[in-house]
A and B are shown apart, each in its own frame.
Chain A
Amino acid sequence: MSILVFVEHLDGKLKKQAGELVSYAAQISPDVTLLAIGKVSQDELAKMGRYGASNCIHIQEPGLEMQDNQAYARWIAEIAEKEGTDLIIMANSAFGKALAPRLSVRLKAGLVAGVVDLPTTDQGFRVKKKVFNGKAFAMVQILTSRKILTLNSNACPLIEKPTELQYQVFSQTQVPANAAMELVEKSQASSGNLLTEASIVVSGGRGMRDPSNWAHLETLAQQLNAALACSKPVSDEGWRSHSEHVGQTGKTIAPDLYVAVGISGAVQHLAGVSSSKTIVAINTDKEAPIFEVADYGMVADALEVLPMLIQSVNKLHSS
Chain B
Amino acid sequence: MKNSVIFDYKQIKLKPTIMHIIVCISHVPDTTTKIRFSGEMSALDTQGVKWVINPWDDLSLTRAIELREDAQSGVARLTVALVGDASAEPTLRKALAMGADDAIRIDADPADSYTVAVQLAEALKEEDYQLILCGIESSDHNSSAVGGMLAELLNIPSVSSVSSIESQQGSFVVVSESEGGREKVRLNHPFLAVCQKGVAIDPRIPSMRGVMSARTKPLKVVTPKGSDAFTQTLTYVYPQAKGQCRFFDDTDALVNALKNEAKVL
Interface residues, chain A, CB within 8 Å of chain B?
8, 10, 15, 66-70, 73, 92-95, 97-102, 104-106, 108-114, 126, 128-144, 178-189, 194, 196-197, 199-200, 224, 236, 242-243, 245, 248-250, 256-257, 267-268, 271, 274, 277-278, 280-281, 291-299, 305, 308-309, 311-313, 315-316
Q: How large is the interface on B (under 10, 10 to 19, 20 to 34, 35 or more residues)?
A: 35 or more
- Cross-chain contact A194 with B234 (CB below 8 angstroms): no
- Cross-chain contact A139 with B145 (CB below 8 angstroms): no
A195: nearest residue on chain B (CB-CB)? B179
Contact (A105, B152) CB under 8 Å given A67-B183, A185-B184, A236-B201: yes
3 nearest CB pairs, A to B: A101-B148, A94-B178, A110-B230
Is B15 among interface residues, defined by CB-CB distance under 8 A?
no
* Minimum distance in angstroms from B165 CB to a CB of chain A: 13
Question: In the complex, A280→B254 CA distance in Å?
Answer: 9
- Cross-chain contact B180 with A188 (CB below 8 angstroms): yes
- Cross-chain contact B183 with A298 (CB below 8 angstroms): no
- Cross-chain contact B113 with A133 (CB below 8 angstroms): no
* Minimum distance in angstroms from B73 CB to a CB of chain A: 18
B143 / chain A contacts, CB cutoff of 8 Å: 111-114, 129
Could you say which of B185, B191, B245, B262 contacts A183, with CB atoms under 8 Å apart?
B185
- Cross-chain contact B245 with A140 (CB below 8 angstroms): no
Question: In the complex, A199→B265 CA distance in Å?
Answer: 10
- Cross-chain contact A297 with B140 (CB below 8 angstroms): no
A110 / chain B contacts, CB cutoff of 8 Å: 112, 114, 230-231
- Cross-chain contact A138 with B236 (CB below 8 angstroms): yes
Contact (A105, B139) CB under 8 Å given A110-B230, A135-B35, A242-B201: no
12 additional A-B pairs beyond A98-B158, A133-B142, A186-B183, beta carbons within 8 Å, are A98-B161, A101-B117, A111-B114, A133-B31, A141-B231, A180-B187, A183-B185, A249-B55, A295-B242, A295-B246, A309-B251, A309-B254
The A/B interface has a contact count, at CB < 8 Å, of: 276
A109 / chain B contacts, CB cutoff of 8 Å: 230
A308 / chain B contacts, CB cutoff of 8 Å: 251
- Cross-chain contact A278 with B264 (CB below 8 angstroms): yes
A250: nearest residue on chain B (CB-CB)? B197
Chosen A-B contacts, 14 in total, with CB atoms closer than 8 Å, are A94-B161, A98-B160, A100-B148, A101-B152, A111-B113, A132-B140, A138-B235, A143-B228, A181-B186, A245-B197, A292-B242, A298-B247, A298-B251, A316-B255
Is B7 among interface residues, defined by CB-CB distance under 8 A?
no
Contact (A280, B145) CB under 8 Å given A68-B157, A138-B235, A249-B197: no
Task: Determine chain B's interface SS by DSSP, over half rule.
Answer: mixed
Is B159 among interface residues, defined by CB-CB distance under 8 A?
yes
- Cross-chain contact A242 with B182 (CB below 8 angstroms): no
Question: In the complex, A257→B181 CA distance in Å?
Answer: 24
- Cross-chain contact A256 with B197 (CB below 8 angstroms): no
A144 / chain B contacts, CB cutoff of 8 Å: 230
B132 / chain A contacts, CB cutoff of 8 Å: none
- Cross-chain contact A180 with B247 (CB below 8 angstroms): no
- Cross-chain contact A248 with B31 (CB below 8 angstroms): yes
- Cross-chain contact B144 with A113 (CB below 8 angstroms): yes
A108 / chain B contacts, CB cutoff of 8 Å: 230
A274 / chain B contacts, CB cutoff of 8 Å: 239
Against A, the Cβ 8 Å flags (1 = close, 0 = not) of B135-163 are 01101111111111101110001111100
- Cross-chain contact B264 with A143 (CB below 8 angstroms): no
- Cross-chain contact B239 with A100 (CB below 8 angstroms): no
* Minimum distance in angstroms from A275 CB to a CB of chain B: 10
A189 / chain B contacts, CB cutoff of 8 Å: 178-182
B228 / chain A contacts, CB cutoff of 8 Å: 143
- Cross-chain contact B55 with A97 (CB below 8 angstroms): no
B86 / chain A contacts, CB cutoff of 8 Å: none
B255: nearest residue on chain A (CB-CB)? A312
B248 / chain A contacts, CB cutoff of 8 Å: 296-298
B14 / chain A contacts, CB cutoff of 8 Å: none
* Minimum distance in angstroms from A100 CB to a CB of chain B: 7
- Cross-chain contact B157 with A178 (CB below 8 angstroms): yes
A97 / chain B contacts, CB cutoff of 8 Å: 136-137, 144, 148, 160-161, 194
Is B198 among interface residues, defined by CB-CB distance under 8 A?
yes
Question: In the complex, A129→B113 CA distance in Å?
Answer: 14
* Minimum distance in angstroms from B182 CB to a CB of chain A: 5
A140 / chain B contacts, CB cutoff of 8 Å: 231-234
Question: In the complex, A270→B165 CA distance in Å?
Answer: 28
Question: In the complex, A31→B228 CA distance in Å?
Answer: 30
Most buried by B among A183, A292, A312: A312
Contact (A257, B265) CB under 8 Å given A69-B151, A242-B197: yes
Contact (A181, B255) CB under 8 Å given A73-B152, A295-B262: no
A268 / chain B contacts, CB cutoff of 8 Å: 31
A136 / chain B contacts, CB cutoff of 8 Å: 35, 37, 236-239
- Cross-chain contact B229 with A143 (CB below 8 angstroms): yes
